[in-house]
Amino acid sequence: MNEYAIDAVGLRCAYGSFEAVRGIDLQVRPGELYALLGTNGAGKTTAVETLEGHRRASGGSVRVLGLDPFADRARLRPRTGIMLQESGFAGDLTVAETLELWGRISTPARGRLDVLELLDLGHRAQVAVKQLSGGERRRLDLALAVLNIPEVLFLDEPTTGLDPESRKRTWEVVRGLLDEGTTVLLTTHYLEEAETMATRLSIMDKGVVSVHGTLAEVLAAHPSRIAFDLPHGMSITELPALPAMSNLVNRAGRVEMSSADLQRDLGVLLGWATRRSVELGRLRAHHASLEDVFHQVADRIGAAA
């Protein structure tokens, strides 16, 4: 039995002569939520669609629950749940009819009313899909994806366009599934959601994975930040040399530093400021966030382009 619920090694996906995914490894353990992040056009949706079995890989090996998602799609389908970026509902059907229809082609493990209540759509059961709000449609999408209590759930930007209450409800449902042992592969542009929900993550750019690991590993590999207003009348050359500082810039009177050891560098800086009676206006010091890491990846691409 494969150790991973999703196991892609050297995955390549091409549209004609254009290679959108250029040899990525993506190994997701059973029961974890793995976040696949990246800039626009990085290749996330292409990779996920290949794992879902919607397209054939052009290279590498791909297994989902030990099966080839493209060749074994019919066997895999009842065991997976898929929430695409854009749904293709028939607008004239009601919410209840849509679930009924979907129930006939999937293997529902939940009652239809239960799943509507779960997604706070119970009161909309008799409403035509075309009359639903954007957020309600996304919740209906999720209702269909989880009707069968999937072993593997693919979520492609599930909360885009949702209000905070709907986002909260979505994550409650996903947490419930994780508690039941579902494996989740998530793509999102909301980094704080990945930060909260993901066990491990990858950041893609231009078809390759540039950063991957647990959140702690990814953050530890990136420097912390210190920023403050350059004291009045002082030149940047008068600032103390900090032992773990790797970068120092003055942006219109605001000093920004990168540090590989925040506590040590901050101690030296504050000691220096106290001895010199210097005020470090709007002082800010923080460990790298996922957003910082993401911007560094995006900046690298921009610089290389």
Ligand X SMILES: Nc1ncnc2c1ncn2[C@@H]1O[C@H](COP(=O)(O)OP(=O)(O)OP(=O)(O)O)[C@@H](O)[C@H]1O
| Minimum distance of ligand X from residue 269's CB (angstroms) | 38
- For residues 88-127, one letter each, b for 16 or more C-beta atoms within 10 angstroms of the residue's C-beta and e for the rest, the string is ebeeeebbbebbeebbeebebeeebeebbebbbbeebbee
Please state the three-class secondary structure of 38-71 as a single string: ECCCCCHHHHHHHHCCCCCCCEEEEEECCECCCC
Residue 300, Cβ neighbours under 10 Å: how many?
12
Least distance between ligand X and beta carbon 8 (Å) = 14
Identity of the residue, 46 or 170, whose beta carbon is nearer to ligand X in the bound complex: 46
Binding region for ligand X (CB under 6 A): 15, 18, 20, 38, 40-46
- SS3 (DSSP) at 77: helix
Indicate the residue among 45 and 224 with the shorter CB distance to ligand X. 45
Our CB check for ligand X shows the closer of 40 and 126 to be 40
Q: How far is the CB of 44 from ligand X (least distance, A)?
A: 4
Beta carbon of residue 85, minimum distance to ligand X (angstroms, whole number) = 7
Output 20 or 116, the one with its CB closest to ligand X: 20
CB of 62 to ligand X, least distance (A): 15
Are 93 and 102 within 8 A, CB to CB? Answer: no
DSSP three-state, residue 7: strand
SS3 279: coil
Provide the β-strand partners of residue 215: none
Residue with Cβ nearer ligand X (185 or 242):
185
* 22/112 with CB nearer ligand X: 22
Q: Estimate to the nearest angstrom the gap between the alpha carbon of 136 and the chain centroid.
A: 21
Closest distance to ligand X from the beta carbon of 205 (Å): 9
d(CA 71, CA 64): 11
Which residues, other chains included, contact 72 with Cβ-Cβ below 8 Å and sequence gap of 6+? 53
CB of 35 to ligand X, least distance (A): 13
Cβ proximity to ligand X, 46 vs 98, nearer residue: 46
By residue count, the chain amounts to: 305
